[in-house]
Amino acid sequence: MDDELVWHKVPSKIDESRDYVKALHVAGKKLCIIRENGVMSVTSSRCPHAGADLTHGWCEDGKLICPFHRHRFDIVTGKGDERQGNYIRMYPLKKEDGEYYVGIKKSLWDKIFG
Ligand code: FES
């Protein structure tokens, strides 16, 4: 499956000195980057419940909390809490030669014309 990923260089500097939840713009997408207890995660930025912007959320106990109705998502797997029945998309993040890259699956368009 990894051959379907395209690695996009993160254009802005990533802060490794503190924890946060904020927006990350890469490859024309708005994603959500999280640093929680030193662990970095990249997720989709739109809440699957009613579309809130998760980049305005916060973390508690390894969960990203949506600012609208407080749905909770695991920041490693993206899985929502049990009763929610939803999840957020996770994007792999890697660091090479001091630069960060986010892995985004090729779109159908890219597969056909790429
Ligand atoms: S919009 Fe996120 S919990 Fe409702």
- Our mutation pick for probing the ligand 1 site, out of 45, 46, 49, counting the most ligand atoms within 8 A of Cβ, is 49
Q: What is the predicted pLDDT for the residue at 54?
A: 98
Q: Would the CB of 47 count as within 6 Å of ligand 1?
A: yes
> Is pLDDT larger for residue 2 or for residue 96?
96
* Prediction pTM value: 0.90
φ/ψ region of 88 (left if φ > 0, alpha if ψ in -120 to 50, else beta) reads: beta
Q: Rounded distance, CA 37 to CA 25, Å?
A: 22
CATH of the domain at 81: 2.102.10.10
By C-alpha distance, which of 95, 91, 94 is closest to 78?
91
Does the pLDDT at position 33 exceed 80?
A: yes
Separation of CA 53 and ligand 1 centre (Å): 9
Residue type at 57 in one-letter notation: G
Question: Domain range spanning residue 7?
Answer: 2-113
By C-alpha distance, which of 14, 8, 7 is closest to 33?
14
Helix (H) or strand (E) holding 111: helix 108-113
Does the pLDDT at position 3 exceed 70?
A: no
Tally of structural domains, the chain: 1
